[in-house]
Amino acid sequence: MKNRWAQGIEPRYFTWVLKDQLAISERPGGYSRNHRRVRRQEEILWLRHAGFTRIVSLLPSEHNLAAYEELAVPSSHLPFSSDDDPRAVLPTIFNSLHKWLEDGDRILLHREELGDELMGVVAGYLLFTKRLTTTSQAITVVEHLLHKQMGPVGRSMIANSGAWATA
């Protein structure tokens, strides 16, 4: 039984966006009042054991960054607040993800919870890299991957995705 726990536990709502390259989940350890230090540690151990080479936090705050460092998992912080203009923030996120993936990193991308904003970021990234070609296609693919509908916040984030395409 000890060996099973030494491998950790999969983060909640863990989903591959690009198989074996880019995955998303809610914040390791849970979000807000549901956050648990022990769970965070178990989930980070799982990510390390699964071969992730970088955790990318889109949280506006620096929560979890010290825990990633403590458990020797490289991380990057690309703060993205609900109040930020996506047109100003998303190009940096997309270019960073693109570079890390080209360099061979295996990435977990997260926000506080797996909601509209993270769905919009993922759909926008798929358009940015030209893996998908239309907004409706990106929305459909992300909704299918996550088994949930993208709301107006996520949809509005990718409405002008063509302007971000510099890859």
Residue appearing with tokens 């940096």: 92
Which of 5-14, 80-89, 95-104 comes out lowest in average pLDDT?
Answer: 5-14
Asked whether the beta carbons of 133 and 140 are under 8 A apart, the reply is no
pLDDT score recorded for residue 128: 94
* Bridge-based pairing state of the strands 75-77 and 107-111: unpaired
pLDDT score recorded for residue 32: 67
Q: What is the DSSP string of 43-95?
A: HHHHHHHTT--EEEE--SS-TTHHHHHHTT--EEE----TTS-HHHHHHHHHH
Phi/psi-derived region of residue 63, left when phi > 0, alpha when psi is between -120 and 50, beta in every other case: beta
> 32-79, pLDDT tens digit by residue?
666 677 888 999 999 999 999 999 999 999 988 999 999 999 999 999
Residue 8 pLDDT class (50, 70, 90 cuts): confident
Alpha carbons 135 and 114: distance in angstroms, whole number? 20
Helix (H) or strand (E) holding 16: strand 15-18
Domain ranges within the chain, ordered by starting residue: 2-114
Residue 166 pLDDT class (50, 70, 90 cuts): very low
Asked whether the beta carbons of 54 and 16 are under 8 A apart, the reply is no
Predicted confidence (pLDDT) at residue 4 exceeds the cutoff of 60: no
Give the residue among 100, 71, 52, 80 at the shortest CA–CA distance from 154: 80
Which of 2-11, 71-80, 117-126, 157-166 comes out lowest in average pLDDT?
Answer: 157-166
Q: Which CATH architecture has domain 2-114?
A: Alpha-Beta Complex (3.90)
pLDDT score recorded for residue 36: 78
User: How much is the average pLDDT of 92-100?
Assistant: 97
Residue 5 pLDDT class (50, 70, 90 cuts): low
> 139-163, pLDDT tens digit by residue?
999 999 999 999 999 998 887 555 5
pLDDT score recorded for residue 34: 66
